Amino acid sequence: MINIKIFGIVWRAILLLNSNTELPFNFSIEQNHSAFMVSFINGVESIDADEVTMQNDSIFIRMPVFDSEIRAKITSKNKIPVSMQGLFINHARVSNNIIPFSAKADDATRFIDNGKPTAINVDGLWEVHFSQGTADSSDAIGKFEQQGKNVIGTFLTPTGDYRYLSGSIIDSTLNLSTFDGCHVYLFKAKMKKDGTLTGDFWSGTHWHEPWTATRNPNFQLPDPDTIMHLKPGYDGIKFSFLNMDSTQENFPSDKYKNKVVILQFMGTWCPNCMDETSYLAYYYRKMRSKNLEIVGLAFEKFPDFNKAKHNLTRLKGKYAVDYPLLIACINNKDSIARNLPMLGSIYSFPTTIFIDKKGKVRRIHTGYSGPATGIYYDRWIEDFTTFVDKLIAE
């Protein structure tokens, strides 16, 4: 049996991305009677996973919402757990989806410090370029907050944000990581003499690219309302998809007549979609009596209806979603184009479409600035609520 001292302490975990690249994160384990809770810690964020099973010397942790899990064996000394060894498995990916996992008990360290004084300060806003000069080039805003050696932050991109990153400065190197059950992100960068940052970004075992950054509080990304449009000749949306009861739902229909409708293009594999769902579920409970409807269209990774329904059921319970969730189609360009021919390519999940009471598309917003972005999140909420209030008042 697992000794009770496994509970209430912080563990230091490692995901081995390659032979010499480790992504560290922290978690804790609590017990309430016969139930277990694992909390994954990313700076100010704590993600609680309550689908946890202990069997003899093994632990099985199913991530909240995401179709992923940790399987590990616990090693004890004098009946006190000291380490874990196992695998992180992301079932939403078809390849590069298994990463070696290990953890050490009673260690709240994230990146191992060398004891030397902090050599740099990265606090503030940065103009960031990933894979600059290549076909994979993309831009972002780096938002970092530093206290002593500790750093939290995120990257805002034209299609979303990198959620909660946490780490530290070691010598002149910035180290940031996050693990939320889907995101497996590691950032490292050295500060050069001219104050710029140059480093590497790893996303799990399937992606690695360089990035550079320059302090620039005035750097702007493209307007997310201008990235995607309806194709010429269209002013509305039409679709027919199955709901979770296997019943066909059509749009438009009398159900939505004379109502403002928000269409949420999302997927249970998408971390930014989870942040948006959390807010939309709250907003819908508050506004549903005011001629407003929200419809979630799930674009899943696999065509299996029952698997999609299972994943959506977990999401629905996690965020207390009262608006309908429809199982749209698999997330690829051909399927989306076939089922939604009035749309250009969807560049990002989530994408949010605002439809007025006459059924006309008034706005298409690409991406989402989640709570990790701070003031950008506050601005998004203000802009969102003001625009919806305007549509309701018309």
- Please tell me what DSSP assigns to residue 306: H
- In this prediction, the residues of the chain whose per-residue pLDDT falls under 50 are 1-5
User: What pLDDT digit, counting tens, does each position of 20-43 carry?
Assistant: 999 999 999 988 777 889 999 999
Of all residues in the chain, what percent are helix, strand and coil, respectively (each to 5)? 15, 45, 35
pLDDT value of position 332? 74
303 φ, ψ (degrees, to nearest 5): -80, 0
Q: Are 311 and 319 in contact (CB under 8 A)?
A: no
The alpha carbon of residue 266 and the mean position of all alpha carbons in its chain are separated, in whole angstroms, by 11
Tokens of 83: 């380490």
Query: Which of 333, 330, 280, 277 has the alpha carbon at shortest distance from 304?
Result: 330
How is residue 17 written in tokens? 């991305």
Position 7 scores a pLDDT of: 62
Return the amino acid letter for 171. D
pLDDT digits (tens, 9 = 90+) for 257-314: 999 999 999 999 999 999 999 999 999 999 999 999 999 999 998 889 999 999 999 9
Residue 169, pLDDT score:
97
Residue carrying structure tokens 């601005």: 379
Nearest residue to 182 via CA among 254, 98, 270, 241: 270
Q: Within 13 Å and on the Cβ side, how many CA atoms surround 251?
A: 28
Instruction: Give the separation between CA 68 and CA 87, rounded to whole angstroms.
Output: 11
Strand spans (E) along 182-333 = 184-191, 197-203, 207-215, 239-243, 248-251, 260-266, 292-300, 325-330
**Which domains are seen in the chain, by residue range?**
4-104 (2.40.128.20), 124-215 (2.40.128.120), 239-393 (3.40.30.10)
Q: What is the DSSP string of 279-321?
A: HHHHHHHHHTTTTEEEEEEEEESS--HHHHHHHHHHHHHHHT-
